Structure 1
């Protein structure tokens, strides 16, 4: 049986062979920066908080965890989180797909693909539809985990749902919290954009998906061998 691996196709290209591909949503498949910054700016202004610090640490993290970290001690965290969620769900202006994202999603076998996001199912559905992206059949939303990113629970859950080992998975992520979650899960990681910090062994970087190519074949055991060229 073939074993997933990676090698350099050229000085510029990397080839990854895996059995499943997991995606974060915001900043990875969907550019929702405008909405996210608008909502958190309103939150920061209301309580006299440092918006730069909130944005620096909130990306890729469940909203409730950020509210709990920054809200005044006497604040109703659950109510504030619900209010921010309503604000995010009602705003889709400027929500677009990253270049090439839909083509990559369409090229991947659905039964070997999952979305793992800190958003809840309602917000994820709204944003994926606004960006005109296909929602994978396998999803892990915020309500499905007890510990959000940077904890690896979400990514390990997705791998288990797809019936693959963490070492046979590649994760596409953009935020430090999500990258930490993928790395803690023992998964190779492709960092999308420039916000993820320095690359370590088992990590690669792309700006978007326009240069990513996908081929997938059925393996002897009925699963998939997926080759990604970055």
Structure 2
């Protein structure tokens, strides 16, 4: 059992609380084919990144806005297959006064559609793609969420599923708990603790209790 003390918990959404993998994969591949981009190559580094940041790696600057809008349109055209990840709703309900926020690479419209489809509640503090100048792996989103909750980033635990998000959280100074819901544990080694999913995480007074981590990790605030 590992104890992660914290004053607040900051959650990524896609791949951490909500599983919209079938939708994202379909939309990304449809979009890539329309723009003459290899779908496998595009999707290989897309997870956990803002759409505009990933698109900018493939298209000239003057085409990014329209191409991003097209991919957003594809992703917003469906909501089928979107579900809450195991125990995500249970964990959020059990926080019992522990402040929390979400920090996502989605825009607000996508976030609302996906969380509503999955039955995942949203907290008062929500940081979406349009609220930051720099997306993950830049720490701006997590720094903003901590500031709006009134806590130091170093007093937060960030729950993430993707390498870009883990790097963002670490750069913000937070402790990082990673779940292997979208990436293998071998890709999440920068996290402090890695678990298969949120069924291994319980809210307790003063922080989170983590059972049976798949990676030993060394939380910076102790065990």
Does TM-score exceed 0.5, indicating one fold? yes
Match of 1:228 among 209, 213, 217: 209
Distance in 1 between the 2:150 and 2:130 partners? 21
Task: Quote how far apart the aligned CAs of 1:62 are.
Answer: 0.7
Mapped contact 2:55–2:64 kept (Cα < 8 A): yes
Match of 2:57 in 1: 69
Inter-CA distance 141–74: structure 2 relative to 1 (3 Å threshold): closer
Task: Quote how far apart the aligned CAs of 1:195 are.
Answer: 4.0
Task: Quote how far apart the aligned CAs of 1:198 are.
Answer: 4.3
Match of 2:200 in 1: 211
Match of 2:83 among 96, 100, 117: 96
Matched, 1:184 2:184: no
Mapped contact 1:176–1:195 kept (Cα < 8 A): no
Whose Rg is larger?
1
After the TM superposition, which of the residue ranges 21-30 and 62-71 deviates more from structure 2? 62-71
Runs ≥4 in structure 1, deviation > 6 angstroms? none
Q: Give the alignment's Cα RMSD to 1 decimal.
A: 1.7
Task: Quote how far apart the aligned CAs of 1:174 are.
Answer: 0.8
Task: Quote how far apart the aligned CAs of 1:175 are.
Answer: 1.0
Task: Quote how far apart the aligned CAs of 1:211 are.
Answer: 2.5
Task: Quote how far apart the aligned CAs of 1:111 are.
Answer: 6.1
* TM-score of the aligned structures, taking structure 2 as reference length: 0.87
- Equivalences for 1:1-230 in 2 at 5 Å? 13-71=1-59, 73=60, 76-109=63-96, 112-193=99-180, 194-195=183-184, 197-200=187-190, 203-216=192-205, 225-230=206-211
Q: Secondary structure at the match of 2:114?
A: helix
- Structure 2: 5+ residue stretches without partners: 212-223
Mapped contact 1:110–1:136 kept (Cα < 8 A): no
Q: Secondary structure at the match of 1:190?
A: strand
Inter-CA distance 47–86: structure 2 relative to 1 (3 Å threshold): closer
Deviations 1:169-211 (A, max 9, x none): 11011111111100111111111113461424x6111211112
After the TM superposition, which of the residue ranges 163-172 and 50-59 deviates more from structure 2? 50-59
Distance in 2 between the 1:46 and 1:205 partners? 37
Distance in 2 between the 1:170 and 1:162 partners? 13
